Amino acid sequence: MSIFITISHFSLSSLQTKTLKLLRTNLQCREEHGQLEFAALEHLENLEFHSDSTRIVKLYNRIKQVMASLDCPKSFTLKDLIKPDSDRTELFLSAILNFSLYRPSEQHGRRHGYLKATTDLSKYGFSAGWVEFGWVEGLTLTGGGTFDGQGAKAWPYNNCPTDSNCKLLPTIVASYFDNDSMFTSQLQDLRLRAKASPKLGGYKFLSLFRVKIWWMIPRVGKSGSEIPLETQMLLLEAREQSALHDKISSDTNYTENTFYILLLPVLEGQFRTSLQGTPANELQFCVESGDVNVQTSQSLEAVFINFGDNPFELLKNSIKILEKHKGTFSHIENKKIPAHLDWFGWCTWDAFYSKVSPQGIKEGLQSFLEGGCVPKFLIIDDGWQETVNEFCKEGLQADWWTSKKTVSSRASGSDNTCIDLHDFIDSIKDKYGLKFVYVWHALAGYWGGVLPSSETMKKYNSKIAYPIQSPGNTGNLRDIVTDILEKYGVGVIEPEKVFEFYNDLHSYLASCGVDGVKVDVQNLIETLGSGVGGRVSLTRCYQEALEQSIEEFFFF
């Protein structure tokens, strides 16, 4: 990757002496490089500079020895990462863009140097954690690295990580001269032009992306511009040409080796990542928290990347690697598989939608019995809870759940043969031979959460919050359910009360003979993270409470 930079003004007003140390020599010399031009160079004497010249010359000679071993005459491309002593002004050389400048002994006029960029962060180890993610108009660097404007230490004190109008560019550059001297300086009014990052055109890809907030579907294509927003998995097919020399005919035959590259966005702390393409056939990482108060200027583990010859084994092995590295989930091979997965079951949703009733359930089970195909388990889907809809014209999604304790009156309905939910479940298990009966509920209780004014819900300190969707979600297909909830709000339980809520709900259901729950509308929680630590933190709170409660009341 080569970049051409023109500096229209060069100021030495911030001339400082640097004491440096050589850390490592692991960069490789390359032919491809850009050219760095300086105009209006202005010389400024610095007495302190001369007092430290001995140490600087020693350092410079060490660097020259390293460069002399490379086949890059006069390129002076650094083969090292260098850092200053703590008592000196910081010299910032990005791990994304490492470069040095060569200049003849004259102190005025134009000078030429060479620039080298690399995006292979594995060369730098974990010390490269300070690489910033940001935005600079007109400059594209593969991997999302960007000139930081004022050096790494200054970034936390300005708004560049979040302000798309930030125009700050590098202010610190290391320069090396023929007379074995060195200085650093500030640059002003830089003009940058950059070739586009390596394109994704020519690679066949398979992506899995969220077409709606609730649903993920596949897409295939051949260019980066076709990679959709909210991509959760990206599989690239790459081809490498190999030469086979025929000793008899002296001909050279070429074969193509196909391999696959897998990219999996992962969670990191309070942040999540998704992938997306650009019209320029580039790949972008979108890192977000869902809370304006939770920000970062770096992302160390945003995307997991692996490659292999077999796409199926690649995916399987990559998940196992992440399982071990993250420690937050288990591969399916290490999970206990529920017995009902091998059985035929019936879910009431397609038959009744939200109008489920005891009589309807019995009629459905009876029809299966008469047809000679009795299900072994039953899922009582949406519709069994008592809800309040203050916005009837908008549909059921605006409903708030008022009380779990009145569910028996809805579930037993007009069926006079059952007293309550417990009696109803006992009767259908006995008559139809059901092994398990599960019931539905949303992660927040119901589509619109819980009703804060309900007497039975006040103990959970719930309040109305208004969902805020990720731009990626709204950039694909909007969902009418979420639009309604954005308009009227969701009754959200206080995070510290979530386990108590699930504990009360699941203990009641278990006492009625319910064997487990189908938990729906889970993606809603990611839109409610504003002011409470963000989407990842809030979802983790709900999921941990949910799993703990289910393990206590339904684990067998």
State both tokens at 209: 């992306």
Poorest-confidence range of 414-423, 444-453, 508-517? 414-423
> Which of the listed ranges 327-341, 410-424, 533-547 does the model predict with the highest average pLDDT?
533-547
pLDDT at residue 300, rounded to an integer: 85
Residue 40 predicted with pLDDT over 80: no
Nearest CA-CA partner of 355 in 382, 390, 391, 334:
382
Q: What is the mean pLDDT of residues 520-529?
A: 96
pLDDT tens-place string over residues 108-119? 323 333 223 333
Q: What is the mean pLDDT of residues 27-43?
A: 29
| More confident call, 370 vs 148 | 370
| Helix (H) or strand (E) run with residue 34 in it | strand 34-38
Cα 438 from chain centre: 33
> Which of the listed ranges 30-44, 153-167, 384-398, 454-468 does the model predict with the highest average pLDDT?
454-468
State both tokens at 408: 């028996």
The sign of the dihedral angle between the CA atoms of 279, 280, 283, 287 is: negative
Q: How confident is the model at residue 14 (pLDDT cuts 50, 70, 90)?
A: very low
pLDDT tens-place string over residues 59-101? 445 545 544 544 434 343 333 323 333 322 222 222 222 223 2
The residue count of the chain comes to 556
pLDDT at residue 124, rounded to an integer: 34
Residue 102 predicted with pLDDT over 60: no
CB atoms within 10 A of CB 483: 14
Beta strand ranges found along 364-521 (DSSP E): 377-380, 386-388, 400-403, 436-442, 463-465, 490-492, 516-520
Assign 498 to helix, strand or coil.
helix
Residue 298 predicted with pLDDT over 70: yes
Burial letters 96-116, b for 16+ CB under 10 A, else e: bbbbbbbbeeeeeeebebbbb
pTM of the model: 0.63
pLDDT at residue 343, rounded to an integer: 94
Residues 274/230, Cβ–Cβ less than 8 Å: yes
DSSP 8-class letter at 70: S
Regarding the domain delimited by 339-553, which CATH topology (the fold level of the hierarchy) does it fall under?
A: TIM Barrel (3.20.20)
Residues 330/336, Cβ–Cβ less than 8 Å: no
Residues 235/206, Cβ–Cβ less than 8 Å: yes
Beta strand ranges found along 399-460 (DSSP E): 400-403, 436-442
CB atoms within 10 A of CB 484: 19
* Burial (Cβ within 10 Å: 0-12, 13-18, ≥19) of residue 409: exposed
pLDDT tens-place string over residues 177-232? 333 333 333 333 333 333 334 466 678 999 999 999 999 999 999 988 899 999 99
What are the domain boundaries of the chain?
3-194, 204-333, 339-553
Residue 316 predicted with pLDDT over 70: yes
Cα 152 from chain centre: 23
CB atoms within 10 A of CB 158: 15
Q: What is the mean pLDDT of residues 150-172?
A: 43
Query: From the CA atom positions of the chain, what is the Rg in Å?
Result: 31
